[in-house]
Amino acid sequence: MAQINIDTEVQYVKGVGPQRAVLLEKLGIKSVRDLLYYLPRDWVDRSNLTPIIKARPGELETLQGVVIASETRQVRPRLRITRVTIKDHTGFISGVWYNQPYIEKVLKRGFEVIFHGKIDTYRNYLQIAGPEYEIMDDEPGESNTSVNMNRIVPIYPLTDKLYQKQLRRIIKNALDIYLPALSDDMPVSVIKKYSLAGLKASIYSLHFPENFESLKAGKRRIVFDEFFYLQLAFLLRRLGIKKEKGIIFASAGGMYDNFIKSLPFGLTGAQKRVLSEIGADVISGSPMNRLLQGDVGSGKTIVALAACVMAKQGDFQSAIMAPTEILAQQHFRSSDALFKGQGITCGFLSGAMPKAKRAKIIERIGNGEIDIVIGTHALIQDDVIFRNLGLVVIDEQHRFGVMQRMALVKKGREPVHSLIMTATPIPRTLSMTVYGDTDVSIIDEMPPGRKPIKTHVFESGDTGTIYSFLEQRLRNGEQVYAVYPLVAESEKVDLKSAIEMEKELSARFRDFKTAIIHGRMKKDERDAVMTSFRNKQTDILVATTVIEVGIDVPDASVIMIEHADRFGLSQLHQLRGRVGRGEKQSYCILVGDPHTEDSIKRLKTMEETQDGFKISEKDLEIRGPGEFLGTRQHGISEFKVANIFTDRSELFLAREAASAVVDGLDDGHQDEKERLENIIRQRYGDSFDLINIG
């Protein structure tokens, strides 16, 4: 008997052939395995079709009958109504479509069809407006009964040229022949412990469920699999990292203690906790791979600098990379001041530096004179060579790509420790699926004495009130940010723009100095504007979201964000974090005219809480992970069936299961480890490099 191979090209499945194989490939289906994993987007219960006479207005029904009339009428100059009437042995009903005359050609008299939709009435007759429909007539040589009728029927996501019926038939053929060859890679212990349904039965049930019970069990199994293998991949990679030899720093000692003592404030409990986590990593003997999350203003920078001191005590250099010139300079200025007289030398490197100055810095990095280099992307250029880099810190990591991070990490001669920092709190469910191989530290406590930022939502008609409030603050010597969604006016959308509003605001506030900053300006222009704002030469800074990241101006106490309903919540939270950095009471004024209940609720969330984690949960819920992360960081963390909200409890179970499996892989289990690694490679291909991350 010929070996049945589930990775056979899909064209060899009965009913496919070379032409349909091309159509299937467009759906991402190349092999039989892909086909079996091409799962329905919905299921319709046709196991007991309603007789037409029993259809009730207002109910969602699935009805079947023969087309007895099909016609289109021009009712008004721009309205054509197509009415297709079907009949079964109990009665008749019409499907009605507006301005879709082609339907008449599709649903011809005599065809057996199914309508699915909400029943309503028109002049005492039953009808369904725009029903989903399907023609039930058999293709030559194919029988409908088993896959299209009298059962729960799958509805696949499809493009044109391929019909539900055809795909159902093809998938049924593939299941009949190939499903027995699908091997279940899940460790038996996991199947038992978590009471998972069998893989073959689950795949079958997802396509052609016996009943809704078995559909549910099948779905759960596939959801669990999706989460489990991703977590397994992360944890195997983490194991790989832990096996590498890590540089040893000194996490305590004279220089470190002096640094902590010299700080103008005491560390918060959260900062201390995170530092002890980092301290344990850098003496553990394996490389640190840690994500530090903490809200804007929670004091991540000090933590990073303290880690750099640990490196210095181990006689290693550190590099801190920030996404913008301004931010890098800000870090450099504050660090340079903090390290004065402590025998630690900081250096600054950016793309905007004069050549000679840059060359000098690079030389001092190379000969080890500089202990901590702070800079922008300029740090990853080829000619920047460290004497002995031991620690890499990436600030606002979501602004960098994976490649850029890697490029900096690779500047170490040995595997370096890395600390990546973000002020966008990532809900745990999401961080598990994006940073599953990374240890996570959280600063969940603000430095003492911070006054909560008072946040208020206004409507665009409230300008008078808002402006007189701004005037009051300005007269009090405070500074104001005014944020707009657009740089310049646009014909496409009716939104206020920074350029337009800068004119308005400078006319309204004549006694004060106004400046503008946006992404279309040159970098050095932007830097000059920022500098003048920081030095209080400017009172009102009109901006687009370019001010989003990290800028620290203590006297800026008001931020006004117009068209606030156009921004994501996390983005609003980030923007709001530009104020509230000094002693003064700060204010966030959100101006918007939300049109939906949802967007009103969203803005209310901002009034109610300053907890970045709560806000990000909400944001993730509303916008989904892709939008939330901005850039796709790992293509692999996309799920076909699983949903990190509705299936979150499965996610935690899958993580737990994968941890137990990986923990069980001590040196005696090399075979099992290789087996699992192969499964991961097969599932994720090259996107998951198990061994070499450094």
- Summarize as ranges the residues that interact with Mg ion (CB under 5 A): 550
Contact yes or no for 139/165 (Cβ under 8 A): yes
Q: Which residue is nearest to Mg ion (CB)?
A: 550
Helices 612-629 and 597-608, interaxial angle, to 10°? 130
Query: At residue 150, what is the residue type?
Result: N
Nearer to ligand ADP, 236 or 442 (CB): 442
Coil/strand/helix, residue 196: coil
Q: 267 touches which of Mg ion, ligand ADP, none (CB within 5 to 8 A by kind)?
A: ligand ADP
Count of alpha carbons within 13 angstroms of residue 230, beta-carbon side: 28
Q: 85 touches which of Mg ion, ligand ADP, none (CB within 5 to 8 A by kind)?
A: none
Which positions from 517 to 556 touch ligand ADP by CB under 6 A, shown as an x/- string?
Answer: -----------------------------------x----
Query: At residue 487, what is the residue type?
Result: V
**Integer Cα distance of 541 and 547 in angstroms:** 10
Which positions from 428 to 457 touch ligand ADP by CB under 6 A, shown as an x/- string?
Answer: -------------------x----------
Q: Scanning residues 287 to 346, which ones bind ligand ADP (CB under 6 A)?
A: 294, 296-302
Nearer to ligand ADP, 580 or 592 (CB): 580
- Least Å from the CB of residue 298 to ligand ADP: 4
Place of tokens 């001669």: 413
For the record, the structure tokens of 594 come out as 């939300």
- Measure Cα distances from 249 to 91, 273, 286, 366, 416 in Å: 83, 18, 11, 20, 11
Nearer to Mg ion, 33 or 399 (CB): 399
In 3D space, the residue among 158, 207, 176, 170 whose CA is nearest the CA of residue 15 turns out to be 170
Contact yes or no for 310/439 (Cβ under 8 A): no
- Least Å from the CB of residue 449 to ligand ADP: 7
Q: Scanning residues 551 to 580, which ones bind ligand ADP (CB under 6 A)?
A: 552
Nearer to ligand ADP, 552 or 677 (CB): 552
Q: Which residue is nearest to ligand ADP (CB)?
A: 299
Contact yes or no for 8/154 (Cβ under 8 A): no
- Measure Cα distances from 495 to 142, 462, 559, 563 in Å: 57, 16, 18, 7
- Report which DSSP code applies to 268: P
Nearer to ligand ADP, 31 or 271 (CB): 271
- Least Å from the CB of residue 268 to Mg ion: 15
- Least Å from the CB of residue 375 to ligand ADP: 17
Contact yes or no for 343/353 (Cβ under 8 A): no
Place of tokens 């467009």: 26
Nearer to ligand ADP, 497 or 574 (CB): 574
For the record, the structure tokens of 47 come out as 């196991």
Nearer to Mg ion, 120 or 445 (CB): 445
662 burial level (CB within 10 Å; 0-12, 13-18, 19+): middle
For residue 496, what are the β-bridge partners? none
Nearer to ligand ADP, 197 or 326 (CB): 326
Q: Scanning residues 262 to 291, which ones bind ligand ADP (CB under 6 A)?
A: 265, 267-268, 271
Nearer to ligand ADP, 157 or 269 (CB): 269
Q: 298 touches which of Mg ion, ligand ADP, none (CB within 5 to 8 A by kind)?
A: ligand ADP
Query: At residue 388, what is the residue type?
Result: N
- Least Å from the CB of residue 572 to ligand ADP: 16
Strands (E), 210-254: none
For the record, the structure tokens of 95 come out as 């499907």
- Least Å from the CB of residue 536 to Mg ion: 22
- Least Å from the CB of residue 28 to Mg ion: 40
Contact yes or no for 684/634 (Cβ under 8 A): no
For the record, the structure tokens of 178 come out as 């190939």
Nearer to Mg ion, 218 or 425 (CB): 425
**Integer Cα distance of 234 and 670 in angstroms:** 18
Place of tokens 């649903």: 107
Q: Scanning residues 107 to 166, which ones bind ligand ADP (CB under 6 A)?
A: none
Nearer to ligand ADP, 107 or 302 (CB): 302
**Integer Cα distance of 284 and 245 in angstroms:** 9
- Least Å from the CB of residue 485 to ligand ADP: 24
- Least Å from the CB of residue 588 to ligand ADP: 16
- Least Å from the CB of residue 313 to ligand ADP: 21
- Measure Cα distances from 55 to 69, 90, 118, 520 in Å: 19, 11, 10, 60
Q: 294 touches which of Mg ion, ligand ADP, none (CB within 5 to 8 A by kind)?
A: ligand ADP
- Least Å from the CB of residue 443 to ligand ADP: 7
- Least Å from the CB of residue 620 to ligand ADP: 21
Nearer to ligand ADP, 331 or 673 (CB): 331
Q: Site for ligand ADP (CB under 6 A): how many residues? A: 15
Q: Which residues of 427-456 are buried (b: 16+ CB within 10 A; e: fewer)?
A: bbbbbbbbbbbbbebbbbbbbeeeeebebe
Q: 191 touches which of ligand ADP, Mg ion, none (CB within 5 to 8 A by kind)?
A: none
Q: 427 touches which of ligand ADP, Mg ion, none (CB within 5 to 8 A by kind)?
A: none
Q: In the set 223, 374, 389, 423, which binds ligand ADP (CB under 6 A)?
A: 423
Where do contacts with ligand ADP occur on this chain (CB under 6 A)? 265, 267-268, 271, 294, 296-302, 423, 447, 552
